[in-house]
Amino acid sequence: MRIVFCGSSFPDTRDYLLSALPKGMRDEVLVWPGEHLQTFPKNVDVVIPKMHRIDAALMDTGEFRLIQQWGAGLEGVDLVAAQARGIAVANVPASGDNADSVAEHAMLLVLSLLRKLPLAMANVRSGVLGAPLGTMLAGRAVCLYGLGAVALSIAKRLRAFGPKLIGLTRDADAPKVSQFGFDRCFSTQDKDECLKQTDVLILCVRYSEETRDVVGAHELTCLPAGAIVVNVARGGLVDYEALHASLRSGHLGGVGLDVFWNEPISADDPILQHPNVIATPHIAGITSDSLTYIARAVADNIERLRAGKLILNRLV
């Protein structure tokens, strides 16, 4: 089986997949940097996108049989083109160790913003003791926007800190809502009322054309002055210009970003220059536990392809 990772980001994934594949099958796992279509390897069976767009032009370079996402998001795959060419497309839904890894990282960003970690580190270097003044998570109203597996894992961790826990989802009466233990859950029709009560907004929404810029100038204005926004889902959920304007005005107390509008984000991007912004390079789900979990799921689908069995979590 010839397997190609498309893109040079997330460098540890190849080794984890090699460890998960059965020994003795002589599978070849390559990394294509994605610079020129002419250099795409031949006779490929499986393509795994790594922040690289898998479009019709790439699909037409070969006759691969499976596009297997390393994770949940498939916005980088042209599903219509894949379906037209009879190429199976599958993902690894966010659950288990992957969801738990993202949840822990969300907590890291929230706590770091509330306790002003960048300024605290600067004060250590400057010899300043007893500052900055932080804010406790206990008693704050934390809103989880989007109620999938990641949000459920975050909710479980939040309870220990004693905040007021709020949910925001399309259907506030859905059976799954009861799992979260919310103090209150709002439907998206009542989004404004929800955001007006929110001190910390954590985005866990699935990205699509429908949810592009779902947090814009209006939503940010609804948040109380000094509120914190954390995004561990997809950069396109937040309107870039609106977020930048809210930071410039001082309305937001802080922003935590693990995902961006264009990745990798430019080091001199204006948003990164704000002292109350903490950014990490799309690593919320990058832990040894998460990569082991995903690698096993990807390897299982590769084995299913080899054996002519049903591909799991197939979208096309």
Strand partners, 141: 164
Residues 2-91+287-307: name the CATH superfamily.
NAD(P)-binding Rossmann-like Domain (3.40.50.720)
pLDDT computed for residue 96 by the predictor: 84
- Across residues 175-198, what is the average pLDDT? 97
pLDDT computed for residue 14 by the predictor: 96
pLDDT computed for residue 24 by the predictor: 87
With a cut of 90, say whether residue 72 has pLDDT above it: no
Residues 96-279: name the CATH superfamily.
NAD(P)-binding Rossmann-like Domain (3.40.50.720)
DSSP 77: B
Asked if the domains 2-91+287-307 and 96-279 are classified in one and the same CATH topology, the answer is yes
Residue 54: Cβ-neighbour burial (10 angstroms; 0-12, 13-18, 19+): buried
Average pLDDT of the chain to the nearest whole number: 96
Going from N- to C-terminal start, the domains of the chain cover 2-91+287-307, 96-279
With a cut of 90, say whether residue 67 has pLDDT above it: yes
Spatial distance between the Cα atoms of 315 and 184, rounded to a whole number of angstroms: 33
Spatial distance between the Cα atoms of 236 and 238, rounded to a whole number of angstroms: 5
